[in-house]
Amino acid sequence: MSKNKSSESVKVVVRCRPLSRKEESNGPAGGIVQMDLRLGQVILRNPRAPPSEPQKTFTFDAVYDSSSKQRDLYDESVRPLIDSVLAGFNGTIFAYGQTGTGKTYTMQGLWLDPEKQGVIPNAFDHIFTHISRSQSDKQYLVRASYLEIYLEEIRDLLDPNHGNTRGLELRESPETGVYVQDLTSCVCKSIKEIEEVMNVGNQARAVGATDMNEHSSRSHALFLITVECSQPGPDGRKHIRVGRLNLVDLAGSERQAKTGVQGDRLKEAAKINLSLSALGNVISALADGRSSHVPYRDSKLTRLLQDSLGGNAKTVMVATLGPAPQHYDETLTTLRYANRAKNIQNQPRVNEDPKDALLREFQKEIARLRAQLNHRRFRSKQKKEQVDGEAWERDGDEEEEEVEEEEVEKEAEEFVKLEEQRLEKENEAIREDQFLLAEEKQKLLGENEKMMGDLRKRQEATEQLTARYKAMESKLLVGGKNIIDHTNEQQKMLEMKRQEIAEQTRREREMQQQMLIQDEEAVELRETFTSLQQEVEAKTKKLKKLYAKLQCTKAEIKDVNDEHVRSRQELEQTQNELTRELKFKYLIIENFIPPEEKNKIMNRLMFDPDEDEWKFKPLVPDESKSSQMKKRPASAVGYKRPISQYARVALSMGTRSRYRAENIMLLELDMTPPNTSALTDGEQNQSPTLNNSPTNNKGICKSRSWYQSQKSITSSSSNNSLAGCQTATPAAAM
Ligand code: ADP
Ligand code: MG
């Protein structure tokens, strides 16, 4: 695997939950998972194997046993990632594991208990605390979105109508990579607001399913946080860095039992397995490092996580395990999956000054509103000074403008007040003036009233502008200002110490792991033997060790092969089921859909590579969407409807042309006199139609039945006309 200078591998941590009460009551067997926290190792015991079989050992970046605290996991494994996001990297945390092993517990935890809050609430806390403690020349904009992927459809959990609308679509842009079109994103100014967003989404998720647990174990939930930060660079210009954080709670990884599953459930199972097995394939392809093609496009989930796996993001995977012996297979699969993911290399990089930063747009809008506001105020100020008789010169310097801003605002307000008072006084004076005529008084008062109205309108507009400006500005969080930091110095110190400890633990573990590897190599090199006997002993020991290792590897190969066979069998089964369904559909098409209808449908079909599905081309081509009316066909000019050349000639010749073009036969009524021979009822019933009378060999009877049976005449003539129509259609179309 090629290692770039800037590349780093996906961090994989494993967490095992405690035995549940039900599992404890099942038997004294105890858990099958042991953990070495110092070395970051998981040791798995096979409950079905003889005790002589070696146990399986896996090493990860960190492991958390059943007594681990939420806070430990966060401080050690998640905090550095969130710090990177705040510095402008993309980051992803995803929880993977069987249903009921604690994915949701790890990601969300119990909200009401501060000790048991999961990764997401801790991340909220971390982000907003960081902002409040950063320098005041930094501006932040925090946005959140929440979506779920259910049955390969993306649903916006913050959109109240998400249940009724079709799933959202994925798009790709060179700037941002893969993104979800039209996804709601909420600007959040505080922890409370972002928690509210999370709650709304969680409720939408619960409402969407009758059985919450069932649903949640079948859908993938993604909570997305975008943190934009603007800071003046050394060049004096403001630079924006955008960090995106994906918090992913995946669907349960257990195999959906396929036998006996049908209909929607089968489809659902197939689709969950599809996106999870697509994820597995992507991880395998990336970990392998040799395959040139990574199948990101196989599912929505893998496309959304494209940046996080082998892309430009930093990624942490939390694999969750249950300790119960009955889930040995699933636990082993999860550990293998996690073990593979360790080898994925990402190339994280900071998103510096992306074009689509919302923060920049906000800043521009705020600047525009401020300019507008200042303009108004300056005008008021100017007027005031004119009234006061002072000369006023506007200073263009921006710095001073900012300093003066408050002063100007005050002065403008003062001016409005003074002006109102002046008008009031004038009104009084006019009313009291005895030399003015009543009419003139009315006129002057009216004028004053108008001026007053204008003044009020202007002030209202200014107030509205100010409100908009303030609302806009409040969305941007300024470092060290917007959020009151409740923590005192002692608490801060405590936090810092805790972080240091976490950092040290992490480093210690890394060193231990490295030492272990180096030890094995070094022992071989340094060994010198004083006697042959000693050498034999040492070599025998080594041989035993290597033999055990060989056995382990052999067992591993056998396991992997078994698993391969199993998943292959499952795939074959799915394939068989799908083939059966396909055959059934073909049968319906062949037997119940006329070939020309089928052709029409086939001609309209096209494949949409973006959506990865077949679609119908629109019936009406796009250019006809313009509101212009179609021109009348040349054959219809002067006539009510288009008419063929033949019919036109016939018309001018005066022959009866009606229906000629349509090829409908005009039959004269058959006036053969009725036959006197009597017919039995039975015969009549037996030969209701012409075609059904081969038993009737008398010609006379034939004509009689043709003449008498009303039903047969209408049906046959209608057949005629139908046939005629069909043959005439191409002619008319010409
Ligand atoms: P998942 O999301 O993987 O299906 P949950 O997170 O819903 O599983 O966990 C199932 C149950 O196990 C919950 O009742 C949860 O409280 C409990 N649980 C999971 N992990 C832990 C843990 N580390 N400590 C204590 N309880 C846990
Ligand atoms: Mg869950």
Per-residue pLDDT tens digits for 111-165: 888 899 999 999 999 999 888 888 888 889 999 999 998 888 888 999 887 766 7
pLDDT, tens digit (0-9, with 9 covering 90-100), for 639-683? 777 888 877 777 777 766 565 556 666 677 777 776 665 555 544
Neighbouring C-beta atoms of residue 164, cutoff 10 Å: 7
* Spatial separation of the C-alpha atoms in residues 152 and 612, rounded to whole Å: 11
CA distances from 656 to 11, 201, 730 (A): 89, 74, 22
Q: 100 C-alpha vs ligand 1 centroid, how far in Å?
A: 6
Which helix H or strand E contains 496, and what residues bound it? helix 489-526
Confirm if 74 and 92 have CB atoms less than 8 A apart: no
pLDDT of residue 251: 86
* Spatial separation of the C-alpha atoms in residues 149 and 363, rounded to whole Å: 34
Q: Which residues have CB atoms below 5 A from the ion given as ligand 2?
A: 103-104, 216
* Spatial separation of the C-alpha atoms in residues 313 and 87, rounded to whole Å: 12
Confirm if 351 and 122 have CB atoms less than 8 A apart: no
* Spatial separation of the C-alpha atoms in residues 64 and 18, rounded to whole Å: 11
Q: Residue 606 burial by CB count (10 A; 0-12/13-18/19+): exposed, middle or buried?
A: exposed
Q: Residue 339 burial by CB count (10 A; 0-12/13-18/19+): exposed, middle or buried?
A: middle
Q: 240 - beta bridge partners?
A: 230
Which helix H or strand E contains 230, and what residues bound it? strand 220-232
pLDDT of residue 591: 93
pLDDT of residue 331: 92
Q: Which ligand is nearest to the CA of 95?
A: 1
Would you say the CB of residue 322 lies under 6 angstroms from ligand 1?
no
Which helix H or strand E contains 445, and what residues bound it? helix 438-475
pLDDT of residue 586: 93
Residue nearest atom 23 of ligand 1, based on CA coordinates = 17
Q: 241 - beta bridge partners?
A: 229, 352
Closest-CA residue to 304 (of 387, 180, 420) = 180
* Spatial separation of the C-alpha atoms in residues 182 and 155, rounded to whole Å: 11
- Residue at 434: amino acid letter: Q
* Spatial separation of the C-alpha atoms in residues 20 and 29, rounded to whole Å: 13
Rg (CA), the chain: 41
Q: 667 C-alpha vs ligand 1 centroid, how far in Å?
A: 84
Q: 9 - beta bridge partners?
A: 345
pLDDT, tens digit (0-9, with 9 covering 90-100), for 592-628? 999 988 888 888 888 887 766 788 888 766 655 555 5
Q: Which residue has the tokens 């036969």?
A: 665
- Strand-pair category, 220-232 with 238-249: antiparallel
pLDDT of residue 119: 95
| Intervals of the chain under pLDDT 50 | 1-3, 210, 258-261, 390-401, 403, 482-483, 682-734
Confirm if 359 and 228 have CB atoms less than 8 A apart: yes
Residue nearest atom 18 of ligand 1, based on CA coordinates = 102
Closest-CA residue to 318 (of 121, 109, 60, 82) = 60
* Spatial separation of the C-alpha atoms in residues 11 and 9, rounded to whole Å: 6
Would you say the CB of residue 101 lies under 6 angstroms from ligand 1?
yes
Would you say the CB of residue 105 lies under 6 angstroms from ligand 1?
yes
Q: 149 C-alpha vs ligand 2 centroid, how far in Å?
A: 14
Token pair, residue 175, equals 């700037």
Identify which of 17, 65, 248 to mutate to test ligand 1's pocket (most ligand atoms within 8 A of the CB).
17
Residue 6 half-sphere exposure toward CB, CA atoms < 13 A: 10
pLDDT of residue 269: 63
CA distances from 331 to 17, 100, 213, 558 (A): 12, 12, 20, 17
pLDDT of residue 573: 87
Would you say the CB of residue 108 lies under 6 angstroms from ligand 1?
no
* Spatial separation of the C-alpha atoms in residues 603 and 63, rounded to whole Å: 57
Q: 320 C-alpha vs ligand 1 centroid, how far in Å?
A: 9
* Spatial separation of the C-alpha atoms in residues 191 and 184, rounded to whole Å: 19
Q: 67 C-alpha vs ligand 1 centroid, how far in Å?
A: 13
* Spatial separation of the C-alpha atoms in residues 261 and 6, rounded to whole Å: 47
Q: 214 C-alpha vs ligand 2 centroid, how far in Å?
A: 9
CA distances from 337 to 171, 282, 319 (A): 28, 11, 9
Which helix H or strand E contains 225, and what residues bound it? strand 220-232
Would you say the CB of residue 99 lies under 6 angstroms from ligand 1?
yes
Report the length, in residues, of the chain.
734
pLDDT of residue 719: 40
Q: Write the DSSP string, 8-53.
A: EEPEEEEEEPPPPHHHHHH-TT--SEEEETTTTEEEE--TTS-TTS
User: Rounded to the nearest 10 degrees, what angle do helices 263-288 and 532-592 cross at?
Assistant: 140
Closest-CA residue to 272 (of 303, 291, 250, 292) = 250
* Spatial separation of the C-alpha atoms in residues 299 and 280, rounded to whole Å: 11
Token pair, residue 508, equals 């210690």
Confirm if 534 and 527 have CB atoms less than 8 A apart: no
- Residue at 202: amino acid letter: N
What is the position in ligand 1's atom list of the atom closest to the CA of 16?
23
Q: 213 C-alpha vs ligand 2 centroid, how far in Å?
A: 7
- Residue at 406: amino acid letter: E
**147 φ, ψ (degrees, to nearest 5):** -140, 165
Torsion over CA: 190, 193, 199, 202 (sign): negative
CA distances from 544 to 27, 142, 339, 375, 547 (A): 35, 58, 26, 87, 5
List alpha helices for 327-397, DSSP H.
328-341, 358-388
pLDDT of residue 132: 86
Q: What is the DSSP letter of 631?
A: P
Confirm if 703 and 670 have CB atoms less than 8 A apart: yes
CB proximity list for 558: less than 8 A, separation 6 or greater: none
CA distances from 265 to 215, 256, 360, 624 (A): 12, 10, 47, 42
Token pair, residue 6, equals 């800037």
Token pair, residue 104, equals 């949701």
Residue nearest atom 21 of ligand 1, based on CA coordinates = 17
* Spatial separation of the C-alpha atoms in residues 490 and 683, rounded to whole Å: 111
- Strand-pair category, 11-16 with 62-64: parallel
Q: Which ligand is nearest to the CA of 118?
A: 1
**57 φ, ψ (degrees, to nearest 5):** -120, 135
Would you say the CB of residue 217 lies under 6 angstroms from ligand 1?
yes
Q: Residue 375 burial by CB count (10 A; 0-12/13-18/19+): exposed, middle or buried?
A: exposed
pTM over 0.75: no
Which helix H or strand E contains 179, and what residues bound it? strand 177-180
Identify which of 105, 106, 330 to mutate to test ligand 1's pocket (most ligand atoms within 8 A of the CB).
105
Q: 99 C-alpha vs ligand 2 centroid, how far in Å?
A: 7
**363 φ, ψ (degrees, to nearest 5):** -60, -40
Q: Residue 290 burial by CB count (10 A; 0-12/13-18/19+): exposed, middle or buried?
A: exposed
Q: Write the DSSP string, 548-573.
A: HHHHHHHHHHHHHHHHHHHHHHHHHH
CB proximity list for 31: less than 8 A, separation 6 or greater: 16, 19, 66, 323, 324, 325
- Residue at 672: amino acid letter: T
CA distances from 336 to 31, 57, 61, 509 (A): 19, 11, 14, 21
Q: What is the DSSP letter of 98?
A: S
